[in-house]
Structure formats: C-alpha cells, structure tokens
Amino acid sequence: MPYPAPEPAPAPNPHAPAAPHTTPAPPASEAPSTDPRTPEPARTPAPARTPASAPVHTPTPLRRSHPTPVSVPLMPPELDALRAKPRHGESVAQRAGRAVRRAIASSPAAETAAVTHTAYAIQQPVTTGRQISVTSIRGGAGKSTVAALLALTYAHYRADPVLAIEADPALGTLPHRLGAREVRWSGTDLAQIVDPSMLITDLTGYLIPFPGGGWLLPGSQGAIGTRLDIDTYRVVMTSLRRYFATTVVDCETLPAEVARTALVTTQARVLVSPATPEGVAATRSVLDWVGGLHPGMLPTTVVVLSHVSPDSGLDVRKATEHLGIGGATVLPLPYDRHLAAGGAIRTELLGERTLQAAARIAAEAMNRAVSRGPGRQRPGGGPAAPATAPGSPTRPGPADPYGGHAAPADPHAAPPR
C-alpha cells in the first residue's frame, strides 16, 4: 500500500511580525544573588577625560620680600652740642690780602678764561654714565673729603643726575660730609630690590638728596663691622649706571678688595695722598702697582696731594715730579679751615683756593673719564688716535688746557642735559 505524499510546507509570509528575541537565562551559579547579606561587587569609576588642548597653569614664583630698614640718625642727639660754629676756610687777613692783590694786579680776562675752560671740562657731554672712584693708601688722608668735593662740584656744574656712592661702609664719613642727617637705605639694601623696570623717580626714593641737586647712596647705617662684598658692589654699580651721568664712588682704603675692583672697573680714578713724605712714598708704590696691572690706567689717574695742616713742609714741585709717572696728573688740595673742622661741607664757607682746586680736580677727572677709550695711551707709544664716526670729517678742534676733549665753541652754551 503506497504511503501518502507529504504536504508541502507553507511559504513564509513576509508581512508577518518577527518573533521577539529572548536572551537565555544565566546559569544558576551566575545568577545575581537576592540575599541581602551578599555585598555588591565594587565598581571602578571611569577615568576623567582631560582635553588635549587644556593649558597647564604654572604658578608664578613669589618675589622674596625684605624687611624695610628704619631710619637711623648719623649723629646721636646728645652729641649735637659738640659741633662748633662753622668757620670760613680762610682767615679775615687772607681774604683781605687777596682782595687787595686782585684790585692792584689782576687780569679779569685771564681769570674768566680759566674759569670758563674749567666749566667746559666739567660740563662736557657723556654718552654713557661715567664712574670715578676715589681711594687712598691709608685712612685720614682726606679721601671722603675729596669725594664729597667732587660730588658737590659735579652737582653744581652739571644739569644731568649726579650720584655719590659710599663703598666704605665701616668707617666712611661721606654722608656726614654731604650733610645727611639720617640714613635708611644702604647699598646692600638697594642691591636686593633694584629692578631694570624702575624709573629714576622710583629709584630716588631710596636715595638721600644733597645740596646742588645730587643724590647719595650710603654704604651702611654706621654699624661697626659692616662689609660690602664684591657681588653687591657690582650689582649696584651696573644697575645705577644708566640712571646717572656722573657717579663718584668713595672706596675703601687700599688694598681692600672693593677698592682694587673699583680701580680697574671705573673710567677714571682719584688717588688721595697725604702731603707728607711718607704719604708720597706710599702713593708712588700704589702707582707702580697700577701701572703693572695695565699701562693705560695711569693716564686716567689723578693724584691729589691733600694738605691737612697749614704748613706741611712738603716740596710740592718735587712731589709732583715724583708722582707724575706714566701720565698721572698730580694736583694739590690746599689746607682749608672749614674742611679741617669736619662735618657737613658748606661751599659758601670754603676758601677761594679750595674752590678752584676742587673745580680743577673735577675737570681733570672728567676729562680722563670721557677720554678713557680713544684717548688712552698705548703701551709702546703715544696716545691713540681719537675715534671718529664712519664718514665724518676729521677736523682739529680748539685746544683744551686740561688735556681732554675740546671745549664747546659757544662760551654761552647751556650745560648738557
């Protein structure tokens, strides 16, 4: 008996809904526990996504703050009674005799010409700050007195800023000679806060003004044992040079380290010698040492023979010949009663000879500070030819009696600014 044929399977309906997808149940061992005593597994938090372009902030380091010094009087109040009334540098008889000689035998034209040439040398323009160091071989020679006279002279004649720096913090008397009453900021304090972005109006707030329009930077507040290291000296000198056209540095006595550094780094140097045979001999030894360092330093050196007594008994002419080696200039500073009494220098009380000597010393020092580069002497011959700008005509100018740059052509020209 034949088997019946199987019926064909129905064709799938494309419009029929699809059967829902079911996920197989996990085995009993993997099923989540419903027991409340079973803790849930710890979940690891997803790491935070940092944008690739986000800038990294670096905190700006804070500038170290320094304590503000307190003003300290230079002289205790109980010692003010020790000051005697300031006397004139010349006696009445000396002033009367000079007036008679001027009325009888004088040449107003010659006197005017001498004063004019001196003023030209002091007022000559400078391209960069000129720094002049003042030192001596021993204490008591009048080093701080000469430095104060130079600072007062430059401040009187020049219209640009003048600075006096005390680099002898232990026993220096420059603040006393320039009339300061109290000291607050010193060179060490200023070296820690000076900044290239400062203006001169910001800087003068840390300085002490003195007569004539100049500024003073003391070395210390008068404490014994205070020292000035080389790094502090270099920071002060290099930072303040662009603010002041003329800087007078009252250095320590030789052979201190700061004094030796100042002799080499300044554009001109003034070496003060007592007007005694012993002082002349010691100063000659210093000049020999300076010439051994560099022959070009002697033409930029001015030696001042300081007379600390009315009659020193020194032959000034022979002393000048003995010290004028290698191109150094020797000038005397006469005895002055006002200077010998100490204290603040009042220019109206100085003798006429002292004023003339101070102006001559300032003119010589400025001439040598300005002509340090093109005017210095060569080791094996005469002075080098002066440098001129490319393409500028070389034309000789009028002679200068002080051996430096020529004086301006206009005798009534205003001082440089």
| Alpha carbon 352 to its chain's center | 31
Q: pLDDT value at position 306?
A: 94
Burial class (CB in 10 A: 0-12, 13-18, 19+), 344: middle
Mean pLDDT across the chain: 77
Q: How far apart are CA 304 and CA 127, in angstroms?
A: 27
What the block records as the tokens of 208 is: 């002490």
Q: Is the pLDDT of residue 383 over 60?
A: no
Condensed to tens digits (0 to 9), the pLDDT of residues 182-209 reads 888 888 889 888 888 889 999 999 999 9
Q: pLDDT value at position 48?
A: 52
Most confident of 85-89, 156-160, 295-299: 156-160
155 — pLDDT class (breaks 50, 70, 90): very high
The rounded percent of the chain whose pLDDT value lies above 90 is 36
Q: Is the pLDDT of residue 132 over 90?
A: yes
Q: How far apart are CA 331 and CA 334, in angstroms?
A: 10
The rounded percent of the chain whose pLDDT value lies above 70 is 72
Of 263 and 383, the structure prediction assigns the larger pLDDT to: 263
Residue in the block written with tokens 């001129």 = 388
Q: pLDDT value at position 91?
A: 87
Q: Coil, helix or strand for 377?
A: strand
For the chain, the distance separating the N- and C-terminal CA atoms, rounded to the nearest angstrom, is: 141
Give exposure, 64-92, as e/b (b: 16+ Cβ within 10 Å). eeeeeeeeeeeeeeeeeeeeeeeebbbee
Condensed to tens digits (0 to 9), the pLDDT of residues 40-76 reads 555 555 555 545 454 554 444 444 556 787 888 887 7
Under 8 Å CB-to-CB from 141, ≥6 apart: which residues? 272, 273, 274, 279, 306, 308
Q: pLDDT value at position 164?
A: 96
Give exposure, 151-181, as e/b (b: 16+ Cβ within 10 Å). bbbbbbbbebbbbbbbbbbeebbbbbbbbbe
Q: Are 188 and 232 in contact (CB under 8 A)?
A: yes
Q: pLDDT value at position 225?
A: 54
| Alpha carbon 15 to its chain's center | 101
Condensed to tens digits (0 to 9), the pLDDT of residues 316-326 reads 999 999 998 88
